Structure 1
Amino acid sequence: MAENSAISWTRHTWNPWMGCTKISPACDGCYAEAMMDKRYHKVQWGNAPRVRTGAHTWNDPFRWQRQAEKDGDRPFVFCASLADIFDNQVDPQWRADAFDVMRKTPRLVYLLLTKRPQNIVKLAEAAGGLPSNAAIGTTIEDQKRARINVPALLEAKADLAPLFAFVSCEPLLGPINIPEYMPNPLWNDLPSWKSAEIDWVITGGETDQGDHKARPTHPAWFRSLRDQCAAAGVPFHHKQNGEWLPLQANDGEWPTDLPGFCRLTPDGDRADGGWPMQKVGKKFAGRELDGVTHDAFPEVAA
């Protein structure tokens, strides 16, 4: 499922099952729900049975493993792009089966991204332990979620020793300041989780999904995370700007009568005095941040 993914931060996506329950504002415009529930009616979102995928999908990692052996590389595989790998409403045996596939395909680097990092240790141990070729990550769309999810992610990193730990700030819905979770040689009297640090940061704006219309991201939020990563030496990957871009003035005046116009303040409010934003569409908005494409990845052993 999804050979050579269009997602810029992974080579492949692999979905051992489909379906999820929304738990945070980042879930409001869930692309997986819009596609697999609303459009294709393959699975019902929410407190409904998850759907295990078929044998062809479960065999995909073995094909990718064989190709990686020929190529001598280690491709990234985003696991459960249509679900949450650490969803506690999933049959535990499915996760154990998925982890077994991961162990049998050691050249693949599995990206286990979750909005439930508090479940990582318990569910990984119940599935026989985290595979040695897995990285763990969590979604943080704003400062509130960062304060909740990042410490839980780093506790799991300290306990389970994954390949690396990462955060996905997509959709980025507010400013995020997380230098205390990144490498810093000046730290003294470290918190208990500080022996583990974030190894990779992904950012991205929101896109339209069915009836849900994308919320704008202030350009300063992307820049701040870029600069935090640069200061800490953490790889930074900017996936996309979303549907919105900062509006350019015409002869010093903002064309406020344009459809899709809003003013977005640095703290996330739509208000007078904020930065003028214009909805231009995902394709036009593109991936560049201040004219630069940020495609950094964490290093893994060959």
Structure 2
Amino acid sequence: MSDRTGIEWTEATWNPTTGCDRTSVGCDNCYALTLAKRLKAMGNPRYQRDGDPSLSGPGFGLTLHHDLLDRPRRWRRPRLIFVNSMSDLFHPDVPLDFIQKVFAVMADTPQHTYQVLTKRSKRLAAVAGDLEWPSNVWMGVTVETPRYAFRIDHLRSVGAAVRFISAEPLLEALPNLDLTDIHWLIAGGESGPGARQIEEEWAMDLRDQCADAEVAFFFKQWGGRTPKARGRELKGLTYDEMPGVAVGISTVR
């Protein structure tokens, strides 16, 4: 967790939970799992609990960090905060009352804007009615192949002020997405050893779908051996579009 981050579409990260396990093909080369192994080896106390070896691995067992719940209250300058960059808040093993505590902190710190991203869209939809949705909470789902486009329907049922899609890692073309009531789409290629390659036409099609639906489009990276290996220009342009209520990040492309 840090009040600074290299993730292009946010400014800070906050991890009231850490650890996760595989739920779809987008998890196969999980950057967070690789980082967790390294942090465990370094003795970081947040990453000493191991997960199921067949689903996650060393240092990546789901862990709740009650002592970190109040961290955003200490950040006086408004920040755009990615919640659980090292976990999934809607993992089935995260108790509802803990999720509610996270949402209470977000509601109590309106100076910040929070970006919550999940692959567990079914649970998100199931518990959304038990959560208060302040206007500074953006909710997103990952859609890495057409098989997981159903997550968008779950997302649409949630009363978040901003709803967004993360098509990262983009592993297949995503034609004809229903972008009704979606405000933002992030696309990007996978990075790290064994990264699966993104195709230019996949990204271009998403850009065009967003333009047609008046949805903000953000192209994060081509990926490769490292996140920066192939840059992030798409046909010579950098796409940094954000929803209109973004805090502190340029909307210029």
Q: TM-score, normalised by structure 1?
A: 0.72
Q: Match for residue 39 of structure 2?
A: 40
**Is it true that 1:288 corresponds to 2:216 in the alignment?**
no
Query: Would the alpha carbon gap of residues 32 and 200 (structure 1) be closer, same or farther in structure 2, given more than 3 Å must change?
Result: same
Q: Match for residue 209 of structure 2?
A: 228
Say if 2:165 and 2:186, in contact at 8 Å, map to a contact too. yes
RMSD: 2.1
**Is it true that 1:215 corresponds to 2:196 in the alignment?**
yes
Aligned residues: 234
- SS of the residue corresponding to residue 114 of structure 2 reads strand
1:193-218 superposed Cα distances (whole Å, 9 cap, x missing partner): xxxx211000010011xxx5100011
**Is it true that 1:129 corresponds to 2:132 in the alignment?**
yes
Say if 2:113 and 2:246, in contact at 8 Å, map to a contact too. no
Say if 1:179 and 1:232, in contact at 8 Å, map to a contact too. no
Query: Would the alpha carbon gap of residues 233 and 82 (structure 1) be closer, same or farther in structure 2, given more than 3 Å must change?
Result: same
**Residue identity in the other structure for 2:228:** K
Q: Match for residue 145 of structure 1?
A: 148
Q: TM-score, normalised by structure 2?
A: 0.85
Q: Match for residue 124 of structure 2?
A: 120
Q: How far 1:81 sits from its partner (Å)?
A: 0.7
Q: Match for residue 261 of structure 1?
A: none
Q: How far 1:52 sits from its partner (Å)?
A: 2.3
**Is it true that 1:53 corresponds to 2:65 in the alignment?**
yes
**Residue identity in the other structure for 1:293:** T
Q: How far 1:54 sits from its partner (Å)?
A: 6.1
**Residue identity in the other structure for 1:95:** I
**Residue identity in the other structure for 2:140:** G
Say if 1:112 and 1:135, in contact at 8 Å, map to a contact too. yes
Q: How far 1:285 sits from its partner (Å)?
A: 0.2
Q: How far 1:102 sits from its partner (Å)?
A: 0.7
Q: Match for residue 98 of structure 1?
A: 102
**Residue identity in the other structure for 1:131:** P
Q: How far 1:287 sits from its partner (Å)?
A: 1.0
- SS of the residue corresponding to residue 289 of structure 1 reads coil
1:55-92 superposed Cα distances (whole Å, 9 cap, x missing partner): 3x43331133x212xxxxxx321111111111121133
Q: Match for residue 181 of structure 1?
A: 179
Query: Would the alpha carbon gap of residues 281 and 4 (structure 1) be closer, same or farther in structure 2, given more than 3 Å must change?
Result: closer
**Is it true that 1:67 corresponds to 2:71 in the alignment?**
no
Which structure has the bigger radius of gyration?
1
Query: Would the alpha carbon gap of residues 32 and 284 (structure 1) be closer, same or farther in structure 2, given more than 3 Å must change?
Result: closer
CA distance in 2, matches of 1:217, 1:150: 21
Q: Match for residue 242 of structure 2?
A: 297
**Residue identity in the other structure for 1:152:** H
Unaligned regions of 5+ residues in structure 2, if any? Answer: 41-46, 248-253
CA distance in 2, matches of 1:89, 1:242: 31
Say if 2:136 and 2:161, in contact at 8 Å, map to a contact too. yes
Say if 1:242 and 1:281, in contact at 8 Å, map to a contact too. yes
Say if 2:125 and 2:154, in contact at 8 Å, map to a contact too. no
Unaligned regions of 5+ residues in structure 1, if any? Answer: 69-74, 183-196, 244-279
Q: How far 1:121 sits from its partner (Å)?
A: 3.3
Segments of 4+ moved more than 4 angstroms: 46-49
Q: 1:241 aligns with which of 222, 233, 247?
A: 222
1:109-149 superposed Cα distances (whole Å, 9 cap, x missing partner): 111110011111333444x4333421111000011111x21
CA distance in 1, matches of 2:61, 2:229: 38
Query: Would the alpha carbon gap of residues 238 and 45 (structure 1) be closer, same or farther in structure 2, given more than 3 Å must change?
Result: farther
Q: Match for residue 265 of structure 1?
A: none
Identity level (%)? 36
Q: 2:92 aligns with which of 82, 88, 92?
A: 88
CA distance in 2, matches of 1:152, 1:121: 6
- SS of the residue corresponding to residue 61 of structure 1 reads helix
**Residue identity in the other structure for 1:59:** D
